[in-house]
Structure 1
Amino acid sequence: MLNADMNVEKWKNVLRSNVWNGIMPVLNLSYQNLPPHLQPCFAYSSIFPEDWRIEPDKLVYMWMAQGLLRPQEGRSMRMEDIGRIYFDDLLSRSFFQKLKDHNGNYYVMHDMIHELAQSVSKEECFRIESDNVREIPSTVRHLSINTDALLQLTSICDLKNLRTLVFFSYNHSIGSDVFKQLRSIRVLDLTECKMEQLPKAAGKLIHLRYLAFAETPKTAPSSIYRLYYLQVLDVSRSRLPTLYPKGMLFPEGMDKLINLRVLHVPGAFTSQIARIGKLTSLQRLAVFRTSKKKGRKIVELQNMNELRGSLRIMNLENVHSMQEAAEAKLNRKEYIKKLRLEWHYSEETRSNDDQILEGLQPHPNLEDLKIISCSGIRSPTWLETNWLSHLQSLTLSCCRSWISLPPLGRLPHLKFLEISRMYAVKKISFEFYANGSLKGFPLLEHLRFDRMPELVEWSQPEEYRAFPSLCDVQFKNCPKLTDEAFSSCLQTLIRLSSLEISCCHRLISLPSASVLHHLTTLKELDINCCENLASLGGIHALTSLEKLKLMDCPELLASVIIGEDNYDRGFLPASLASLEKYRAFPSPCDVQFKNCPKLTDEAFSSCLQTLIRLSSLQISCCHRLVSLPSASVLHHLTALKELDINRCENLASLEGYMRLLPSKSSN
């Protein structure tokens, strides 16, 4: 109550007051000391059942619909933002509680706080939670129902003065007689009702601001477009079928809902709304499908500058030119943080895709960009500069005709980069990092290359220190990537902690110790399906490596497992705690050898002799193994707790291990 008030006299007055006879007087005093604009907002929250998980956005929309939010003088703020400030203020004063479970954070009202909300709102708010309610006071304006027992609502309540009607549990349908009486309704939530179809009378609820419904297997009534003041339409929890009797959920005329700010519907159904561009107050539009039909072309996005959050634009093959693409005016949509630009996949080059992508230049505030299946031959100019100075995540996928990658190293805040299915890219050149006056990719942390069938070469001058922040790298399905290119990529990654290599069939050996010794922070190495990999190179130089996983690398022979230069202290680093081997040769604390049919006793012994932190060892389908190492080797494995041996058909002796019992446990 007084946590933000440093006036000593006020604290003394509270101490001298007569509120300390029980908890409720104290809580009531806290309510009385709320700022005037927060009191009605808190009181309104009493419509929720006890222990109900309150969704802040939904509550804010309800406050907004009831006119409880006040614009702040001298500041231009959205009503939604003002409402969230109200909610956070009540949260900080403990009128709401923030809890957490496996699904994340959620909010509730404490039982005593909920009782307080009921007491201060009893004249205007009412909850029906049983069938023994016979009459509702005429002063009630906000009503919620949380029972299946109530059958006749009109018999116990005069509905014409209600401004809120919310159903939290009601396994019945609401008839048109109810809708006809809701003359003053502003918030109507039918999510938990069984509604086969909204009645035509719903179109006469002219004061309605908030409408939510779920089970609606038929179309909305054509009269719904008359709800001119509607701000929120939520059908997000609907189990919508694929087909409708009339082929659509929304009727003609939806573009007349010019005050609509929130449209929560499955993405596929927004494309049914013709002339959606007239809804200029709309805050969110998850998916927009471009079409060649009038009223559904990309120009509909032109004046929708209040859109925020994420936007996915699909079927861009229906856009004919750069001029048409530019009509969407994406560069004016400053609140869009995530943007996905997507063409229908085609194996043929579409000559105008380059120009269309050029015309789709986003606003520089963009933080996350995905470009999917663009069939042009080059990247847009706005991706070749630092125009997107706030971009943090970038995905380029299936741009199959791009020959080279843009200079993405110019992007100063990029943290995540995924490049996949770029079938024409053969070389990562110096231009990829940007010019020499800038450290390329200064903040990049995660780098993914996947399905790059022609990628052969990676050029990086030794004196150029790119990727100073990179900690996670994946190379997948790059079958032509050479040892030299892979080595060139790794040589400056001083902060790398995780490396995954999968289906890179041309790799024969990991880089030498002179390259790998720079990777002083590498802890996890995962090598999978590299069918020609025969040597782990200078892996002993990875002094921080803790987990090594090798799978489906059949050419990893015993002779090369010994390691380059016959490294006499063991070819694996002593830091290794995990080693997994599946049809290959694995690593440290936890190590697995699976399907390594050529692994010999000598190689296996050499592998284990320095693994002083090894706690778990699994050996499976290593058919050439005849005996476990001697006790003189195994006695170093002081941390080993689990040993799992499976389907090693020629293994005949456990002598070395048996001598160490009973300090170990075996499966």
Structure 2
Amino acid sequence: MGKSTLAQYVYNDKRVEEYFDVRMWVCISRKLDVCRHTEEIFESATKGECPRLDNLDTLQGKLIDKLQESGKFLLVLDDIWFDDSNNQMEWDQLLAPLVSQQAGSKVLVTSRRDTFSSALCCSEVVFRLENMEDSQFLALFKYHAFSEPEIRDPQLREKQEEVAEKIIKRLGKSPLAAKVVGSQLNGKTNISAWKDALTIQIDNLSEPGRALLWSYEKLDPRIQRCFLYCSLFPKGHKYDIEELVPLWVAEGFVNSCNMSKRMEDIGRDYFNEMVSVSFFQPVWEGYTRTPHVMHDLLHDLAESLSKQDCFRLEDDKVTEIPCTVRHLSVRVESMKQHKQSICRLHHLRTVICIDPVTDDINDVFNQILQRLKKLRVLYLSFYNKSKLPESIGELKHLRYLNIIRSLVSELPRSLCITCNFFSSVIKSIVCLSMLEGLPSNIDLFSNCCSLVLKNVPNLKILPCLPASIKKLKIKICPLLTFISNYELGQHDQSENIKRTDHVESELASVYEVSQPPTIFWKVLSSEHSSFKQLIPLIDTGTSSHLQTIGNALGRWPGEILDVKEDIIKAWICCHKQSIRLIYAGTAELPLVLPSRLCELTLSSCNITDGALAVCLDGLTLLKRLSLSKVMTLTTLSSQEVLQYSTKLCNLKIKECWCLRSLRGIRAATSLEHLRLASCPSLELSSGAEIMPLSLQCLEIRECMLAADFFCGDWPHLTYIFIWGCRSTPTLSFGSLTSLEDLSLYYLPDLCTLEGLASLQLHSLVLTNVPSLTTECISQFRVQKSLQVSSSVMLNHMLSAEGFTVPPRLNIIGCKEPSISFEESANFTSVVWLQFYMCEMRSLPTNLKCFSSLTDLQILHCYNISSLPDLPPSLRRIRIVNCGLLEKSCRAPDGESWPKIAHIRWKAT
């Protein structure tokens, strides 16, 4: 127990990150599959999708090349199961690409057993995890049971702590049981709910199943069904909320009675509830969206409770599938021998194919689909034919069709008679590399309220969409182009191309201060993929520029700024060629949308200024508009167009490198939330003239800010967030009297903020704003929360006349080797104090002056080795990933242990 958690701490430790050039994490869980696990190692190493290769030798060759060019690597093989019956040759084959690579590379293994393959060579370096000490186990339980919200009733808290000490004696010192039971009790103020946990009795560390079952029984019945459904996926599976929630909706697990919320949003609430009770735990994978995993023992619980309904077909030796099964997942290479067994499952609602199959899949599925008329969900990952079986159109109950990463190039006309598609069918058109067009018969989508086209790189034409669609997302369709007739007939192509010339200096200027530079790296990666699709259609002279971008993407994102000038020049050359291609067309390609559309997302496709105006004209019900990575866009639509967008309340524009003007945005009189990110050509000025008065929240990242942008009188604006922008030395906030929350990050040019005297902020963040003057800093007044990255800046505030320290104080990313707090300052109002990712070697010596402090958090501060004297009011202390300090605070002999021994709630 706790093996994977310990390995995650090692994997994410800053020193480990700095030592290894590449880090990889793969969960093995019971069944070793050389091909699949090699693919997972490759994907973990490259942070991208593995190419489709049928030959293992070729794949391993690519992995060897990647590891050779990358330097030292760390590979974590999590939760392996090895016994004498395992094929030693398979282990040798899996590990072969790792042999004789860069000196200093390591493989870290976690296992429930202490027998390993000889190929791992780890017989002499096995660390066996022992039971936790009572005090440590209690601290772990309290960490999860009392994390949030804070219990303000001291008598209730005392009773809860008394019950907590009894509960842990019944959990067998199982960390998983402590985590799950504690998370289930978190936030519950009814003491009887706590006492109910005393019915759990675990005799030893290896039997936490009773605690897990107890926690499961406390879940809402609908969430219970969603949890059991997860057993369809293998152990170690990475659950993605975007993948799982549409499945739950299609299966009918999500409560549809709440008319004020979409079913997808309710499904997300279910997912988040499972996270909050530790049934899911996040796995950080660097620059990608965070997936979640389920502990093997929780997976065992789901499997045991759902065995009559859910079945995983993973072994060719299986001869019989229970006739009661409603949900089936398939992970065998050949389905032919199981075809008859599947056809006998008359109650079957779900077929999920997780891995590729080698059969003639059309023949197999034609027979299956003709027999199983009640299917709701059909998930055909890696479908190996160009066309789906016609019999799919006879599935009148089908709610969800997923042909992600398949070879489908044509959708059958018979699909249009399947009249029950819900919004969850949006996953049907994702990652189809061969699909060039959608059926012109719009009956296919006649009952869709949502449609997503994502990663369909050969899609060129979008047919007229039915009136039922209210939500449309088009993402990563680089050949999909929309242009107005006016632009084809009259637009001077050379003028549009010249507009890119200014981008070079502005891109370099903005991304010079961007921290971290991952956005620049991700946008380039997307653009590189798009250009590769266009290469056969444009001037071959771009190939060398494309190679320059490709070589840069092989670097670690943190290194890419070293060659940014060359990369930007290469991108501009490729972009000019793509612009020429778009304006060389002879036919108008408008984007005509249903008038009932409420939400529109366009990302990594081509739409010109004129085509966007045609598209938005008349969308009077549009509430949300998102434009990202649309490099053909130079200006937003005019006031004449946007004046009809009377419902538009949320606008997001990001990574549109050539966008220069927001033009008619002031006409959007209902706009409340505006997010502008990574638009380096966009110089924001004269805010009073261009921005609508209805704004409530404004977020700006990596843009150009002029001195007068914030001079507008925006009576409803309460929130401003600015990150990584170049600006004039002075910005004025004089008329923003409603402003409550101000966050400023990475602003190297900013020296002065005017109008601070009129602001009464609830929350203030000042992180890496190095040029801000002392006079300016001393004018801030903050009521609730303050975050700074410099103790010098903080002390300037503390010494200012009339400044009161807010209740929450956060020191984050402080680079100073030592810090001290102004001795004369009054800290009696501070109840919560945090130090996060600071480089200091010691904490301020006058922490004892914080006489009302109840919570102290010290996170990822690697150099701090001891604690100063602490105030007697302190009730909680949390220390995470601070190796030296954790050692100092260890009971009973740690140097700092006597200073925290009396604190009832502590976690290290």
TM-score normalised by the chain length of structure 2: 0.43
Match in the other structure for 1:315: 607
Letter in structure 2 aligned against 1:121: S
Once the two structures are overlaid, the 10-residue window that deviates more, 214-223 or 130-139, is 214-223
Establish whether residue 258 from structure 1 lines up as the match of residue 444 from structure 2: no
Alignment partners' CA distance in 2, 1:217 and 1:56 = 25
What are structure 2's unaligned runs of at least 5 residues?
1-180, 486-586, 757-765, 779-790, 794-814, 818-838, 840-908
Change beyond 3 A, Cα 1:357–1:444: farther
Of 409, 414, 426, 1:223 maps to: 414
What are the Cα deviations for residues 542-564 of structure 1, in whole angstroms up to 9, with x where unaligned? x989xxxxxxxxxxxxxxxxxxx
Change beyond 3 A, Cα 1:472–1:319: same
Kept in 1, the 8 Å contact 2:639–2:665? The answer is no
What are the Cα deviations for residues 608-665 of structure 1, in whole angstroms up to 9, with x where unaligned? xxxxxxxxxxxxxxxxxxxxxxxxxxxxxxxxxxxxxxxxxxxxxxxxxxxxxxxxxx
Change beyond 3 A, Cα 1:38–1:356: same
Kept in 1, the 8 Å contact 2:393–2:415? The answer is yes
CA RMSD of aligned residues (A): 5.0
Of 164, 178, 188, 2:350 maps to: 164
Kept in 2, the 8 Å contact 1:439–1:465? The answer is no
Measured after TM superposition, the shift of residue 163 of structure 1 is: 0.7
Establish whether residue 177 from structure 1 lines up as the match of residue 367 from structure 2: yes
Kept in 1, the 8 Å contact 2:451–2:473? The answer is yes
TM-score normalised by the chain length of structure 1: 0.57
Match in the other structure for 2:467: 278
Match in the other structure for 2:433: 240
Match in the other structure for 1:443: 720
Kept in 1, the 8 Å contact 2:609–2:633? The answer is no
Establish whether residue 328 from structure 1 lines up as the match of residue 613 from structure 2: no
What are the Cα deviations for residues 197-233 of structure 1, in whole angstroms up to 9, with x where unaligned? 2121222222111111122252122222222222324
Of 340, 362, 385, 1:195 maps to: 385
Change beyond 3 A, Cα 1:104–1:373: closer
Match in the other structure for 1:571: none
Measured after TM superposition, the shift of residue 268 of structure 1 is: 6.1
Match in the other structure for 1:206: 396
What are structure 1's unaligned runs of at least 5 residues?
421-426, 451-457, 476-488, 501-514, 522-542, 546-574, 578-588, 590-667
| SS of aligned partner of 2:593 | helix
Letter in structure 2 aligned against 1:223: S
Match in the other structure for 1:382: 666
| SS of aligned partner of 1:165 | strand
In the TM superposition, 1:35-434 aligns within 5 A as: 35-72=220-257, 75-102=259-286, 103=288, 105-148=290-333, 150-157=335-342, 158-173=344-359, 174-175=361-362, 176-213=366-403, 214-231=405-422, 232-234=425-427, 238=431, 240-241=433-434, 247-253=436-442, 256-266=445-455, 272-282=461-471, 284-286=473-475, 290=482, 297-305=590-598, 307=599, 314-319=606-611, 325-329=616-620, 332-336=621-625, 338-339=626-627, 344=632, 354=638, 358-359=642-643, 361=645, 363=647, 365-369=649-653, 379-380=663-664, 382=666, 388-393=671-676, 407=689, 413-416=697-700, 432-434=709-711
Measured after TM superposition, the shift of residue 443 of structure 1 is: 3.4
Change beyond 3 A, Cα 1:167–1:435: closer
Change beyond 3 A, Cα 1:136–1:517: closer
| SS of aligned partner of 1:280 | coil
Measured after TM superposition, the shift of residue 165 of structure 1 is: 0.7
Match in the other structure for 2:573: none
Alignment partners' CA distance in 2, 1:473 and 1:139 = 62
| SS of aligned partner of 2:221 | coil
| SS of aligned partner of 1:34 | coil
What are the Cα deviations for residues 3-44 of structure 1, in whole angstroms up to 9, with x where unaligned? 266666666666457886954344334434433223322222
In the TM superposition, 1:436-475 aligns within 5 A as: 443=720, 445-446=722-723, 448=725, 472-473=746-747
Letter in structure 2 aligned against 1:212: N
What are the Cα deviations for residues 259-293 of structure 1, in whole angstroms up to 9, with x where unaligned? 35353432667773422242425464448854669
Measured after TM superposition, the shift of residue 255 of structure 1 is: 5.2
Measured after TM superposition, the shift of residue 429 of structure 1 is: 7.8
| SS of aligned partner of 1:169 | coil
What are the Cα deviations for residues 139-177 of structure 1, in whole angstroms up to 9, with x where unaligned? 111111122254433133224431111112233242222
In the TM superposition, 1:572-611 aligns within 5 A as: none
Measured after TM superposition, the shift of residue 491 of structure 1 is: 5.5
Alignment partners' CA distance in 1, 2:191 and 2:775 = 61
Measured after TM superposition, the shift of residue 405 of structure 1 is: 7.8
Kept in 2, the 8 Å contact 1:126–1:142? The answer is yes
Whose RCO is larger (CA < 8 A, sep 6+)?
2
Measured after TM superposition, the shift of residue 499 of structure 1 is: 8.2
Measured after TM superposition, the shift of residue 126 of structure 1 is: 0.8
Change beyond 3 A, Cα 1:356–1:394: farther
How many pairs were matched up? Answer: 471
Change beyond 3 A, Cα 1:357–1:403: farther
Q: Give the number of the structure whose residues are more often helix, by fraction.
A: 2
Match in the other structure for 1:554: none
Alignment partners' CA distance in 1, 2:731 and 2:769 = 23
Letter in structure 2 aligned against 1:142: H
Letter in structure 1 aligned against 2:332: T
State the identity as a percent. 21
Kept in 2, the 8 Å contact 1:219–1:248? The answer is yes
Change beyond 3 A, Cα 1:86–1:132: same
